[in-house]
A and B are shown apart, each in its own frame.
Chain A
Amino acid sequence: MGKRMVKLLALAGLAVALLSGCGSGSGGSTAAGEADENGLKPVTLTWYYPLSQLQADQNKVEDAVNAITRKKINATVKLMPVPVGDYVQKMNTVLASGEKFDILWTGYMLKPEELVRKGAIRPMTELLDEYAPELKKDVPQTMWDGLTVDGDIYAIPNQQINGGRYGYIIKKELADKYKLDAASLKEVEDIEPFLAQIKENEPDIIPFGNFGGNFDFNAQMYGKGFWSVPGLDGHFYIKKDDPTYQLHRYPEEELDIYRLANKWYDAGYIYKDAATAKNTDFMAKGKIGTEFNLVMKPGIEAEVKAKNGGNDVVIAPLSGWYSNGYSATTNQSLSRTSENPERAMMLLNLVNTDKELYNLLCNGIEGEHYKKLEGEYIEALPDSRYRPNADWVFGSVFNSYLKEGQPEDVWEETKKINESADLNPVGAFKFNSEPVSTEIANLNAVWDEYKRGIITGTLNFDETWPGLHTKLKEAGEDRYAEEVTKQFEQFLRESGLKK
């Protein structure tokens, strides 16, 4: 043995010590301490949510948030913003590993219903009734329905506009020049003569800015008398006036949309490389004549103008307001691993009812990050170090201060839209994709190959469809449709829509 051996062993020991790590234990959320006057023990709550960009003054705002939450519910909040591009990957890993935390944002890219099937989030129906009665009342039933899976509510919606109307956004300069009366447009095809004029006379302008992202076929199908069945791949429909709720798969009306796109592509109304070019390349230069839009919410003109190089636009809605139920776009859910779900629920209730707290999260500290203007209006201070610009991520936007360009009654108007929109009768349907995940994976891969080509009209639809359809069949189209039909029938029976 000898000294050398000892040295070597010491070296190995060092390596082991290094490998076994020395970080301190993390995330103990039950700190010992005094209960407050309501009998609440102090706890720490961890809350993950996505942001487009992380904020320099995050800690300062967190401290200010905690000043409120400690006082009101004796909870310390650990805010964990994650850059939106990493959110799905990071959260899926965090959830899959069973890490202990309390609240997470769920929605568009991290769907609550998928998380339910994976056993990641916990039901909150009872917690809502007990700890957040005000919030429960404030949110319309449609939204709760949209967040209910197998009879339990799994998320709290961040209320915002729920519904849309589709139509065209047209560059005003061109509408004026060619004397287009926006109000006269009733159908999608009505724009054709205008597109032809632009094509003819404005060589620098792309008549119809369709880059595969926004010429939404589900919206157009609404105009053709169909409801799309939510939570599926978008190609299942029911007819609006059909009391039997018969499912339609790839109805001819849908295929006509792709034929129209192809017609316009061939006519040169759509950019030649639309299927592979980037919308933003042309948008900011103001080179797009007409665009299809499916939300058209109040104040959209100002929003578009900010993005298209400062050109004024006119809007031509082609439909009334309608809603596919609530598609769970932006919500908060409770992690299965939360050790203090009650307190987490109290916090969410507070965020959605306490205007001060909510606006602190959205806009930072008054005087430091923003200043108040007249009435409810605020303005971010120049070089503000906290400007997440994501009111939708924290809670109900109806509690937010107004920003320049927003009409004073924007939230009343939005609420009105939410209440009055034409509602999809099967909007609450929740598909359980687990039995057909293989088929869905393959179908997704097939559609991805053709989607942009078809929607931009680059591909001749009638030539493409037979081959595509064969591929879809091969990928498991029939099994998928069969499973959807089965579950849909069951849903109809359970919800009393069909006896």
Chain B
Amino acid sequence: MSDKVSLAAKTSQAPAEAKPRKSWLARELRHFRNNRELFLLSLPGILYKLIFAYIPMIGIIIAFKNYRYDLGIFGSKWVGLDNFRYLFSTDTAWRITRNTVLYNAAYILITLVAALLLAVLLNEVKAKWSRFYQTALFLPHFLSWVLVGYIAYAFLNHADGFVNRTLMAMGFDPVSWYQNAGAWPFILVTVHLWKVIGFNTLIYFAGIMGINSEYYEAARIDGATKRQMALKITVPLLSPLIVILLILSIGSMFRGDFGLHYFIPNNSGFLYGSTDIIDTYVYRALREVGNVGMSAATGLYQSVVGLILVLSANAIVKKINPDHSLW
């Protein structure tokens, strides 16, 4: 091993530089040897990601090509940024970007607060009941958006939806929900919360389970109230988890939930102003063209913006509390 290192040092241009470089390499190797067991633990995961994620990333270049099936990924012609053009050439670009970001921001915040609150409260309930509630809240996770779309339609359709029948029974006029854009931000946020609340509550609840009970014992002896314990012990100890989940969701800020925004509003044109997001727009635009290059371009655009957002978020977190940053 060390032979190779010195060989590498000899071949480098300036002999004067060789010495510090050698020691740097040697130091790095020593570090690596010290850490090799940990490295080996992570090796299967790293290899997996290499094969199933990094190697296929070659395909990212499709975004810059006029992809022809017979020419393949490498043989197809380069077209520069042509595939990105359709995303930015109209006013709609602003609308879908705004919607995507605002909806995701709302989803992130509301889910965070609600799930945290429920998780803390669940902790106060007898174990038997807590399990029951967890199961119940988790149920919507099973249903695909298509099916949720059918259910939502049963509630909202004009003729005999439950909502309109209730409204009429109470003496109000029925509402054409699928043509009334104003109501949709609320409907979408509600449906989203309904679908994911169980999942997120479960994660935070598991986090609370992992907190050393000695902390609570000590607080109880000091005469702390439940609320004080929640705010002073539970939330701070959960904060690494909270921050991680926050950064993760910020990374997907630019990726909308296609199923939610397509099936729940029934793809109604009247609602696009308030339901249309990048993903549904792209689906509509490319459904007939079926252009691999253009869809790759969209994905890349979303990824790059996501990366920028995450890097910024992580940098901010690092400033505030370096222990909580992702890297």
Q: Do A and B come from one complex?
A: yes
Chain A positions near chain B (C-beta within 8 angstroms): 5, 8-9, 11-12, 15-16, 19-20, 88, 92, 95-96, 98, 114, 118-120, 272-273, 275-277, 281, 336, 433-434, 437-442, 444-446, 448-453, 458, 471, 474-476
Measured CB to CB, the closest approach of chain B to A111, in angstroms, equals 9
Give A448's nearest chain B residue, CB to CB.
B284
Identity of the chain A residue whose Cβ is nearest the Cβ of B68 in the assembled complex: A119
Given contacts A16-B47, A119-B68, contact A475 B289 (CB under 8 A): no
Chain B residue nearest in CB terms to A433: B289
Minimal beta-carbon separation of A441 from chain B (angstroms): 4
Tell whether, in the assembled complex, residue A444 and residue B284 are in contact, meaning their CB atoms are under 8 Å apart.
Answer: yes
For the complex, what is the distance from the CA of A458 to the CA of B158, rounded to whole Å? 14
Q: Is B91 an interface residue (CB 8 A)?
A: yes
Q: Which of B216-247 contact A (CB under 8 A)?
A: none
Contacts of B182 in A (CB 8 A): none
Shortest CB distance A148–B (Å):
19
Smallest CB-CB A-B distances: 8 pairs: A119-B70, A276-B178, A273-B158, A441-B285, A15-B44, A438-B86, A445-B285, A119-B68
Known contacts: A276-B179, A441-B86, A476-B89. The answer to whether A281 contacts B285 by CB under 8 A is no
Q: A96-B292, A114-B290 are in contact. Are A336 and B86 (CB under 8 A)?
A: no
Contact, CB under 8 Å: B86 / A273:
no
**A451 / chain B contacts, CB cutoff of 8 Å:** 269
Q: Is B209 at the interface (CB under 8 A from chain A)?
A: no
In the complex, which residues of chain B have a beta carbon less than 8 angstroms from the beta carbon of A95? 69
11 extra A-B contacts, CB within 8 A, seeds A438-B86, A438-B89? A15-B43, A15-B47, A92-B292, A119-B71, A275-B270, A440-B289, A441-B286, A444-B289, A445-B285, A446-B90, A450-B269
Task: Say yes or no: B47 contacts A98, CB within 8 Å.
Answer: no
Within 8 A of A (CB), among B63-111: 66-72, 82, 85-86, 89-92
Query: A446 → chain B, closest Cβ, in Å?
Result: 8
Do residues A273 and B176 form an inter-chain contact, with CB atoms below 8 A?
yes
Closest residue on chain B to residue A117 by CB atoms: B68
Cross-chain contact B176 with A276 (CB below 8 angstroms): yes
Q: A119-B69, A276-B178 are in contact. Are A453 and B270 (CB under 8 A)?
A: yes
- Name B160's closest neighbour in chain A (CB-CB): A281
Contact among A272, A275, A476 with B268 in the assembled complex (CB-CB below 8 Å): A275
With A12-B40, A449-B272, A453-B269 as given contacts, are A19 and B178 in contact (CB-CB < 8 Å)? no
**Minimum C-beta distance from A79 to chain B (A):** 23
Which residues of the other chain, B, contact A448 by a CB distance below 8 angstroms? Answer: 269, 284
Docked-complex contact A276 and B266, CB < 8 angstroms: yes
Report the Cα distance A434→B289, complex, angstroms. 9
Question: What's the least CB distance linking B94 to chain A, in Å?
Answer: 12
B82 near A273 with CB under 8 A, answer no
For B290, what are the chain A residues with a Cβ–Cβ distance below 8 Å? Answer: 88, 92, 114
Q: Mark B146-187, 1 if CB is under 8 A from A, else 0.
A: 000000000001110000000000000000101100000000
Most buried by B among A16, A433, A441, A453: A441
Q: Are B159 and A273 in contact, with the CB atoms below 8 A?
A: yes
Chain B contact residues (Cβ within 8 angstroms of A): what range?
Answer: 35 or more
Query: With a CB–CB cut-off of 8 A, which chain A residues contact B71?
Result: 119
What are 27 pairs between A and B in contact, CB < 8 Å? Answer: A15-B43, A15-B47, A16-B44, A20-B51, A92-B290, A96-B69, A98-B69, A114-B290, A118-B67, A118-B69, A119-B68, A119-B70, A276-B158, A277-B158, A277-B159, A281-B159, A433-B289, A437-B289, A438-B82, A438-B86, A441-B286, A444-B285, A445-B285, A446-B90, A448-B284, A449-B269, A475-B89
- Evaluate contact between A273 and B179: CB separation under 8 angstroms: yes
Say yes or no: A442 contacts B270, CB within 8 Å.
no
Chain A residues within an 8 Å CB radius of B159 = 273, 277, 281
- In the assembled complex, which residues on chain B have CB atoms less than 8 Å from the CB atom of A12? 40, 43-44, 47
- With A275-B179, A275-B269 as given contacts, are A444 and B288 in contact (CB-CB < 8 Å)? yes
Complex Cα distance A34/B2, Å? 62
Complex Cα–Cα for A118 and B91 (A): 29
With both chains docked as a complex, state the minimum distance between the C-beta of B290 and any C-beta of chain A, in angstroms. 6
**A12 CA / B45 CA spacing, docked (Å):** 9
Q: Which residues of B contact A9 (CB under 8 A)?
A: 40
Contacts of B178 in A (CB 8 A): 273, 275-277
B132 shortest CB reach to chain A, Å: 37
The verdict on B287 contacting chain A, using a C-beta distance below 8 Å, is: yes
Contacting residue for B48 out of A11, A15, A281, A444, CB 8 A: A15
Whether, in the assembled complex, B291 has its beta carbon less than 8 Å from a beta carbon of chain A, the answer is yes
Shortest B146–chain A CB gap in Å is 10
Q: How far is the CA of A11 from the CA of B40 in the complex (A)?
A: 10
Q: Are A438 and B44 also in contact (CB < 8 A) when A114-B290, A273-B176 are?
A: no
CB 8 Å contact bits of B282-307 with A (1 = contact, 0 = none): 00111111111010000000000000
Confirm or deny: B281 has a beta carbon within 8 angstroms of a beta carbon on chain A. yes
Q: Which of B90, B158, B176 contacts A475 (CB 8 A)?
A: B90
The one of A15, A96, A441 that contacts B289, using a Cβ cutoff of 8 Å: A441
Chain B: minimal CB distance from A315 (Å): 27
* Contact in complex: A96, B89 (CB < 8 Å): no
Q: Given A15-B48, A445-B92, are A438 and B85 also a contact pair (CB < 8 Å)?
A: yes
Interfacial chain A residues near B40, Cβ < 8 Å: 5, 8-9, 12
Q: A444-B285, A458-B179 are in contact. Are A437 and B294 (CB under 8 A)?
A: yes
Across the interface, name the chain A residue whose C-beta is closest to B84: A438
Residues on A with beta carbons closer than 8 Å to the beta carbon of B286:
441
**How far is A5 from B70 in the complex, measured between Cα atoms in Å?**
47
Q: What is the distance, in angstroms, from A205's C-beta to the closest C-beta of chain B?
A: 13
Smallest distance from the beta carbon of B164 to chain A beta carbons, Å? 10
In the complex, A96 Cα to B76 Cα: how many Å? 12
| Cβ B291 vs Cβ A474 within 8 A | no
Chain A residues contacting B179 (CB-CB under 8 Å) are 273, 275-276, 458
Q: Which residue of A lies closest to B156 (CB)?
A: A276
- Which residues of B lie under 8 Å from residue A476 when comparing CB positions? 89
Q: How far does the Cβ of A452 sit from chain B's closest Cβ, in whole Å?
A: 6
Contact at A442–B269, with CB atoms within 8 Å? no
Q: Which residues of A lie under 8 Å from residue B90 when comparing CB positions?
A: 442, 446, 471, 474-475
Cα(A480)–Cα(B220), bound, Å: 73
Chain B hits for A15, CB < 8 A: 43-44, 47-48
Q: How far is the CB of B156 from chain A (nearest CB, A)?
A: 10
Interface centre among B40, B72, B288 (most CB of A within 10 A): B288
